[in-house]
Amino acid sequence: MLEIKNLHVKLADEDKVILKGLTLTVPKGEVHAIMGPNGSGKSTLAYVLAGREGYEVTDGDILWNGESIIEMEPDERAAKGVFLAFQYPMEIPGVAGLTFLRTATNAVRKKRELTEMTTPEFMKFVKEKAAKLNIDFEMLKRPVNVGFSGGEKKRSEILQMAMLEPTLCVLDETDSGLDIDALKVVSDGVNALRGPDRAMLVITHYQRLLNHIVPDKVHVLADGRIQKTGGKELALELEKSGYAEFTGKAA
């Protein structure tokens, strides 16, 4: 279970406060959506969950399975099952997708005290997962994300997610830059990973994605706090009325 308690976050180098007492609980087996206007702190939340540098937690805590993770390095969190699907995945020139996947898979397995995969085991595993996600195996021979289309990048993120078998998946604007067909492939991939042992936090701007990935709960994030929580129908309301109510309240 993910428990975010009264989380206050500011930028490390500036006095800008972004999250102002965010509280949120996502039990295992559930998918929660976070919606909110630009600048409400959605991406900051994703980065703080994953442990990116440049943010300072000034108050509150993040517990994953009852354990505080805010002092952990990003790779330790990854080993604990935290996975962030990036809005803008990084390009890594010269590193083939397969090399990256294998290095990551084995790094995580080692930290989870599992045996590292041999080459044949790994190849079998990656071929299975790629086929499920409709990913052309040839794509994995190219350097990670270099020259990928928006759709390829996001599918590659979901493949990484499938390979690393996380228990907490954070998807940051996974729908951005996707056409309808790509959106469907990516959503199917995410839905296939839904399960009783996995908690998911889907961050999005638009209700569109939630037609494909149907959430158990929807939270509205504005001005650094959760302003409202509801069922999946809340997303539809927001689509109609916009965020004015919340940004107005905040102002």
Partner 1 sequence: MPAVQETVAQVKKIDVDQYKYGFETDIEMVKAPKGLNEDIVRFISEKKAEPAWMLEWRLDAYRRWRAMTEPTWAKISYPKIDFEDLYYYAAPKNSEGPKSLADVDPELLKMYERLGVPLQEQEILAGVKSDKPRVAVDAVFDSVSVVTTFKDELAKAGVIFCSISEALREHGDLVRKYLGSVVPQSDNYYAALNSAVFSDGSFVYVPEGVRCPMELSTYFRINERETGQFERTLIIAEKGSYVSYLEGCTAPMRDENQLHAAVVELIALDDAEIKYSTVQNWYPGDKNGKGGIYNFVTKRGDCRGRNSKISWTQVETGSAITWKYPSCILRGDNSRGEFYSIAVSNGYQQVDSGTKMIHLGKNTSSRIISKGIAAGYSQNTYRGLVSAHRKATGARNFTACDSLLIGDKCGAHTVPYIEAKNSSAHFEHEATTSKISDDMLFYCQQRGLSEEEAVALVVNGFVRDVLQQLPMEFLAETQKLIGISLEGSVG
Residues that bind partner 1 (CB under 8 A): 50-54, 73-75, 77-79, 83-84, 86, 89-90, 92-95, 99-100, 103-105, 107-108, 111, 143, 160, 164
> Closest distance between partner 1 and the C-beta of residue 129, in Å?
15
> Closest distance between partner 1 and the C-beta of residue 112, in Å?
9
Sign of CA dihedral 171, 175, 178, 181: positive
228 Cβ contact partners less than 8 Å away, ≥ 6 residues apart: 219, 220, 234, 246
| 29 or 74: CB nearest partner 1 | 74
> Closest distance between partner 1 and the C-beta of residue 251, in Å?
32
Rounded to 5°, angle at Cα 174 from 171 and 177:
165
> Closest distance between partner 1 and the C-beta of residue 75, in Å?
5
| 90 or 244: CB nearest partner 1 | 90
Provide DSSP, 101-150. HHHHHHHHHHHTT-PPPPHHHHHHHHHHHHHHTT--GGGGGSEETTT--H
| 78 or 235: CB nearest partner 1 | 78
Rounded to 5°, angle at Cα 17 from 220 and 4:
50
> Closest distance between partner 1 and the C-beta of residue 116, in Å?
12
| 53 or 233: CB nearest partner 1 | 53
Residue whose C-alpha is closest to residue 98's, from 138, 128, 150, 131: 138
| 96 or 250: CB nearest partner 1 | 96
Q: How far apart are CA 26 and CA 176, in angstroms?
A: 23
The DSSP output letter for 185 is: H
Pull the structure tokens for residue 180: 């309808």
| 79 or 222: CB nearest partner 1 | 79
Q: How far apart are CA 45 and CA 42, in angstroms?
A: 5
Amino acid (1-letter code) at residue 169 = C
> Closest distance between partner 1 and the C-beta of residue 208, in Å?
26
Q: How far apart are CA 203 and CA 195, in angstroms?
A: 19
> Closest distance between partner 1 and the C-beta of residue 4, in Å?
18
Sign of CA dihedral 36, 180, 150, 104: positive
| 1 or 72: CB nearest partner 1 | 72
